[in-house]
């Protein structure tokens, strides 16, 4: 039997924390569920899920969909597209079977790349390797989740770069239905000896193909669309993330009209320790001033009223009404008062 | 006493109260006061309770968050899975039960921690795992963890069988099977629409044709597989097979072919380079004309219809056989991934007599409708020529048979694989379908057609199998 290998290469950087990652998690589960109702797909499609943040990881090794179990998605710090691609190529090299005299080869593999931001490292070498060794032997579809993805960069990988407007739960549903339909049509077309890949028809506003001739490159190593701060719960010692989304608000300063950048709280989310595993090992000294942030959450792990206490070690943790707090990062003990005015805190790469 | 003292000291300190030397004896009295030491005792007990409660709550939360899964099952297929508490690190679970198994066909053996049975319905079963851990009070409600058990549908149940539209252009029968005489032997051919086409009511794309030319003594058999990506390939494959019969109908009686007997005899007897070369040249020159003719015919038809040639893409294999006093001359040609195999009389040798076109990845085959095949450097290797005293089977098939039964090209040249294939044909299979290769078996075509209904996951292509025996 010939397998149709489908790879999902998914950005799990901190900016994906919360609803996006949850939607991707549910979306992939529904994709598989839907494919199981299609007899072609059920018998031919093999799926693998690779995630990447600062580090890449194979979340689901290539397997037939009947044994697929929806995984829990971790989040990590950073968006190393180069490591994500590198890991994808490593997996392809190890798993894709080419037809020879002695061996039954696979159908041409299909890769869906989902990313919501800008790589936090230089991806050119990995992109060149992709172009040289894999562009013709795999079909890659890059989907940008959000407005400020570096589509010019993605355009070097494939001519199929799509923009997904993730406005609400319904749009996620439409998006994953489109992915499912694309896989279904291609599992039929491979059956029919066609070597090409057919994307399902795009309908509505949710998903659109990007005109790559107009795309502009974006070069930055911190994803500026979001500010994500990493804290640790004093009670449970678990890490959590606080996510803020950029808003540009007009403001008046000393009688002069300015537009000021501000970040509004999206939410706080508990993450597990794989967060550190998937983080970039290099340290980035980027900070954000608390004056730019609007809204402070409670601790998502233990419910402590303040999730935003900054220790002398510069790290963030939660505090309750205890007199003496112990920093879960450095174990320093101390009591906290409320800071006056803004101060700088370290942010993650996003 | 010492403990009470230490507690109160740090408590007062936290409240920014220092005990000066002068107040030490007062503080000692304060500590020994029953009320205060009892209060400290209560506070410490309450703190311990809070700590324990927190640990318990945290532990239960850990078990709830633990992404634990049961291996997937399939409808109507026996299921068995053990929940290994030790491996899961759940040794502190002191009581548990499983709910929501009613009408699923599954049962849970609490002592063995075994989930088993034959799943009745597909879908994601939400199983309730109710448990209590060490340290929880007797009377508290059980904790409830929802575990998903995925039951896959039986793939066989998902395929539909929709008849193709007999009134559509170039319609063709979904299934055909025939038997006849071929030279001094017999032939049986069955061609079946694949599940992928049956599922959507589209046409069979395979085709075949054969003919005995009494006057010249030659017999010809052609098999073609229409490309699934080509909209009119059902017609392409038919045109290809018919054109071959057409071509030899008009081109076999000429003087040219009468020369062949001499060439073949020389080839057979001398086996020297020159006679081999001459015979091979004759074969490739004449068969390439036939192949060209097919290509032209389809191209002409496409033009007439105002359609693109690629809409008629089809593979083509054919064999031209004649019996001489010195043996059977077997000539062949092939484009695409369909094999022609010859098995010797005593079933000890098999030869694959054509070139198989298979791409690096699935689907990279070639078609008779591609003009470039005629210019390709390996064009000459598409022709085959053999003389044998006799043979047991001469087999032509499309990839619908080749993929599930032989899988790879290498197996087509292994006699053990062919022996297994022949015993499969003779009834050694799950369905106990049997083809009886007796010369006077009038039911052989039906038998072969029934045999071709074998189930093979992932292989849902059209199936065509032609056997000369
Ligand atoms: Zn906390
Ligand atoms: Zn600290």
Q: Do the beta carbons of residue B77 and residue B112 sit within 8 Å?
A: no
Residue B301: burial class (beta carbons within 10 Å; 0-12, 13-18, 19+): middle
Instruction: Quote the longest CA-to-CA distance of chain A.
Output: 79
Q: Residue B361 is nearest to which of A67, A72, A98, comparing CB atoms? A: A98
Q: Identify the band that residue A304 occupies on the pLDDT scale cut at 50, 70 and 90.
A: confident
Q: Under a CB-based contact definition with an 8 Å cutoff, are residues A316 and A232 in contact?
A: yes
pLDDT of residue A280: 77
Output the pLDDT for position A191.
55
Contacts of A183 (CB under 8 A, 6+ apart): A6, A31, A35, A41, A45, A110
Contact between B462 and B199 (Cβ < 8 Å):
no
If one compares B80 and A148, the residue with the highest pLDDT of the two is B80
For residue A319, report the distance from its CA to the centre of ligand 1, in Å.
7
List pLDDT tens digits, range B404-427: 999 988 999 999 999 999 999 999
What is residue B127's predicted lDDT score, i.e. its pLDDT? 93
What sign has the CA pseudo-torsion A83, A86, A88, A94? negative
Give the whole-number percent of chain B exceeding pLDDT 70: 99
Query: Which pLDDT tens digit goes with each residue over A118-165?
Result: 787 888 999 999 999 999 889 999 988 876 677 888 889 998 888 888
User: Between residues 15 and 74 of chain A, which touch chain B (CB distance below 8 Å)?
Assistant: 33, 36-40, 42-44, 66-72
Integer CA distances (angstroms), B288 to A28, B183, B318, B333, in order: 52, 23, 12, 8
CB B314, CB B305: distance < 8 Å: no
Strand pairing partners for B181? Answer: B186
Residue A222 scores a pLDDT above 80: no
Please indicate if any CB of chain A lies within 8 Å of the CB of B152.
yes
Hey, which residues does B128 pair with through a beta bridge? Answer: B99, B146
For residue B110, report the phi and psi dihedrals to the nearest 5 degrees: -65, -40
Contact at CB, A72 and B67, closer than 8 angstroms:
yes
- pLDDT reported for residue A201: 76
Is any Cβ of chain B less than 8 angstroms from the Cβ of A235? yes
Q: Does A209 touch chain B (CB under 8 A)?
A: no
Q: Do B361 and A67 touch (CB under 8 A)?
A: no
User: Mind telling me how many Å the CA of B149 is from chain A's nearest CA?
Assistant: 9
CA A33 to ligand 1 centroid distance, Å:
36
Say if residues B447 and B435 touch (Cβ distance below 8 Å). Answer: yes
Q: With 80 as the cut, is the pLDDT of residue A167 above it? A: no
Q: Which residues lie closer than 8 Å to A41 by C-beta, 6 or more apart? A: A4, A35, A65, A183, A184, A187
Interface test with A, best of B362, B364, B365 (most A CBs within 10 A): B362
For B406, other C-beta atoms within 10 Å of its C-beta total 22
Q: Which residue of A has its CA nearest to B461?
A: A191
Tokens 């989040």 locate to: A75
Two tokens at B395? 């087999």
Cβ of residue A136 closer than 8 Å to a chain B Cβ = no
* Nearest CB partner across the interface for A189, out of B229, B403, B409: B229
Closest Cβ opposite residue A191 in set B155, B409, B460: B460
Asked if B460 lies within 8 A of A39 by C-beta distance, the reply is yes
Residues paired with A247 in a beta bridge: A262
HEC secondary structure over chain A? CCCEEEEEEEECEHHHCCHHHHHHHHHHHHHHHHHCCCHHHHHHEEEEEEEECCCEEEEEEEEEHHHCCCCCCCCECCCCHHHHHHHHHHHHHHHCCCCCCCCCCCCCCEEEEEECCCCCCCCHHHHHHHHHHCCCCCEEEEEEECCCCCHHHHHCCCCCEEEECCCCHHHHHHHHHHHHHHHHHHHHHHHCCCCCCCCCCCCCCCEEECCCCCCCCCCCCCCCCEEEEEEECCCCCCEEEEEEEEEEEEEEECCEEEEEEEEEEEEEEECCCHHHHCCCCCCCCCEEEHHHEECCCCCCCCCCCEEEEECCCCCEEEECCCCCEECCCCCCEECCCCCCCCCEEECCCC
CA A312 to chain centre: 31
What's the rounded Cα separation, in Å, for the pair A86 and A47?
Answer: 18
pLDDT at residue B20, rounded to an integer: 86
Mutate to test the interface with B, among A37, A98, A192 (most CBs of B within 10 A): A192
What does R_g of chain A's alpha carbons equal in angstroms?
22
Closest-CA distance of chain A to residue B439, Å:
34
Contact of A102 with chain B, judged by CB distance below 8 Å, is answered with yes
Query: Does residue A21 contact residue A166 with C-beta atoms inside 8 Å?
Result: no
Q: How many other CB atoms are found less than 10 A from the CB of residue A273?
A: 10
pLDDT, residue B115, reads 95
Q: Which position has the higher pLDDT, A291 or B92? A: B92
Query: Per-residue pLDDT averaged across A300-312, rounded?
Result: 87
Cα dist from A250 to A245, A262, A269, whole Å: 16, 10, 29
Q: Are strands B185-192 and B463-468 parallel, antiparallel or unpaired?
A: antiparallel
Residues B404, B230: Cα–Cα separation, whole Å = 23
Residue of chain B nearest A4, judged by CA positions: B362
ipTM (interface pTM): 0.80
d(CA A1, CA A191): 11
What pLDDT is stored for residue A283 in this prediction? 55
Q: Which of A70, A101, A236 sits opposite B58 (nearest CB)?
A: A236
- Look at residue B47 and tell me whether its pLDDT is greater than 50: yes
What local confidence, expressed as pLDDT, does residue A193 receive? 46
Please tell me the predicted confidence (pLDDT) of residue A291.
84
Closest ligand, as measured to the CA of A327? 2
CA angle A113, A116, A121 (to 5 degrees): 85
CA of A270 to the centre of ligand 1 (A): 10
Minimal C-alpha gap between B38 and chain A (Å): 23
Measured at the CA of A311, the angle between CA A308 and CA A317, to 5 degrees, comes to 40
Model confidence at A303: pLDDT above 70 = yes
Ligand 1 centroid to Cα of residue A301, in Å, is 5
CA distance B278 to B269: 14
Residues 71-130 of chain B with CB under 8 A from chain A are 71-72, 74, 122, 124
CA distances from B336 to A63, B245, B369 (A): 30, 19, 11
Max mean pLDDT range (A180-184, A254-258, A271-275, B247-251): B247-251
Mean pLDDT of chain A: 83
Mention every residue, 6+ apart, whose C-beta is less than 8 A from residue B135. Answer: B52, B55, B56, B92
Phi first, then psi: give them for residue B59, nearest 5 degrees. Answer: -65, -45
Answer for the pair B409, B338: CB distance below 8 angstroms, yes or no: no
A323/chain B closest Cα distance in angstroms: 7
For the cut 90, the answer to whether the pLDDT of residue B173 exceeds it is yes
């Amino acid at each position: 039997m010939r397998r149709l290998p489908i790879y999902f290469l998914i950005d799990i950087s901190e900016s994906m924390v919360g609803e996006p990652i949850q939607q991707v998690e549910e979306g992939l589960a529904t994709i598989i569920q839907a494919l199981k109702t299609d007899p072609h797909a059920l018998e031919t499609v093999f799926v693998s899920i690779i995630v990447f943040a600062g580090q890449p990881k194979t979340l689901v090794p290539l397997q037939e969909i009947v044994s697929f179990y929806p995984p829990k998605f971790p989040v990590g710090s950073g968006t190393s597209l180069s490591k994500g691609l590198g890991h994808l190529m490593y997996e392809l090299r190890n798993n894709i079977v080419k037809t020879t005299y002695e061996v039954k080869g696979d159908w041409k593999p299909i890769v869906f790349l989902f990313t919501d931001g800008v790589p936090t490292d230089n991806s050119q070498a990995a992109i060149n390797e992709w172009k040289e060794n894999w562009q013709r032997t795999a079909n890659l579809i890059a989907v940008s989740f959000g407005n400020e993805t570096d589509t010019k960069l993605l355009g070097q990988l494939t001519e199929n770069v799509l923009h997904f407007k993730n406005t609400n739960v319904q749009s996620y549903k439409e998006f994953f239905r489109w992915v499912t339909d694309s896989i279904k049509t291609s599992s039929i077309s491979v059956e029919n000896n066609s070597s090409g890949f057919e994307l399902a028809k795009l309908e509505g506003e949710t998903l659109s193909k990007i005109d790559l001739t107009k795309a502009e490159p974006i070069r930055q190593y911190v994803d500026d669309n979001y500010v994500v701060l990493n804290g640790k719960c004093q009670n449970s010692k678990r890490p959590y993330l606080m996510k803020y989304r950029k808003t540009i608000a007009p403001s008046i300063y000393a009688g002069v009209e300015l537009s000021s950048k501000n970040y509004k709280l999206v939410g706080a989310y508990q993450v597990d320790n794989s967060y550190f595993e998937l983080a970039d090992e290099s340290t980035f000294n980027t900070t954000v001033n608390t004056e730019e942030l609007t809204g402070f959450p409670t601790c998502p792990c233990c419910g402590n009223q303040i999730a935003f206490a900054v220790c002398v070690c510069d790290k963030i943790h939660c505090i309750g009404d205890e007199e003496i707090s112990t920093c879960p990062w450095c174990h320093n003990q101390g009591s906290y008062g409320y800071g006056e005015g803004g101060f700088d805190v370290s942010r993650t790469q996003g | 006493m010492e403990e009470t003292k230490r507690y109160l000291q740090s408590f007062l300190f936290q409240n920014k109260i220092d005990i000066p030397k002068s107040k030490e004896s007062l503080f000692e009295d304060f500590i020994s006061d029953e009320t205060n030491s009892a209060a400290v005792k209560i506070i410490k007990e309450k703190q311990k309770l809070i700590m324990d409660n927190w640990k318990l709550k945290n532990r239960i939360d850990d078990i709830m968050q633990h992404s634990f899964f049961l291996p997937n099952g399939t409808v109507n297929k026996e299921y068995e899975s053990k929940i290994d508490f030790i491996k899961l690190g759940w040794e502190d679970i002191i009581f548990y039960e499983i709910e929501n198994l009613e009408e699923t066909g599954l049962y849970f053996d609490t002592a063995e921690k075994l989930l088993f049975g034959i799943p009745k319905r597909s879908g994601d079963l939400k199983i309730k795992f109710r448990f209590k851990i060490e340290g929880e009070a007797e009377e508290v409600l059980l904790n409830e963890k929802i575990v998903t058990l995925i039951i896959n549908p039986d793939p066989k149940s998902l395929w539909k069988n929709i008849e193709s539209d007999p009134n559509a252009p170039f319609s063709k029968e979904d299934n055909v099977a025939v038997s006849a005489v071929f030279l001094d032997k017999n032939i049986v051919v069955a061609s079946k629409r694949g599940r992928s086409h049956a599922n959507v009511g589209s046409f069979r794309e395979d085709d075949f044709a054969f003919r005995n030319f009494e006057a010249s003594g030659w017999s010809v058999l052609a098999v073609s597989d229409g490309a699934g990506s080509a909209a009119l390939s059902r017609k392409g494959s038919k045109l290809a097979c018919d054109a071959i019969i057409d071509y030899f109908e008009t081109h076999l009686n000429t003087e040219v072919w009468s020369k062949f007997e001499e060439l073949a005899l020389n080839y057979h007897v001398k086996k020297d380079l020159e006679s081999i070369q001459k015979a091979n040249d004759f074969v490739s020159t004449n068969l390439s004309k036939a192949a060209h003719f097919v290509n032209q015919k389809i191209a002409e038809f496409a033009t007439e219809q105002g359609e693109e040639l690629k809409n008629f893409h089809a593979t083509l294999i054919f064999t031209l056989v004649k019996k001489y006093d010195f043996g059977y001359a077997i000539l062949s040609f092939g484009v695409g991934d369909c094999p022609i195999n010859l098995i010797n009389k005593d079933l000890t040798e098999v030869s694959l007599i054509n070139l198989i076109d298979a791409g690096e990845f699935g689907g990279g085959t070639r078609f008779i409708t591609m003009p470039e095949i005629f210019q390709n450097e390996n064009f000459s290797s598409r022709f085959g020529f053999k003389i044998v005293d006799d043979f047991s089977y001469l087999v032509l098939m499309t990839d619908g048979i080749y993929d599930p039964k032989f899988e790879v090209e290498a197996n087509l040249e292994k006699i053990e694989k062919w022996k297994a294939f022949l015993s499969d044909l003779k009834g050694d299979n799950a369905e106990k379908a049997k083809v009886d290769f007796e010369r006077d078996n009038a039911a052989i075509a039906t038998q072969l057609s029934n045999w071709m209904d074998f189930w093979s996951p992932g292989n849902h292509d059209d199936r065509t199998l032609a056997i000369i025996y």
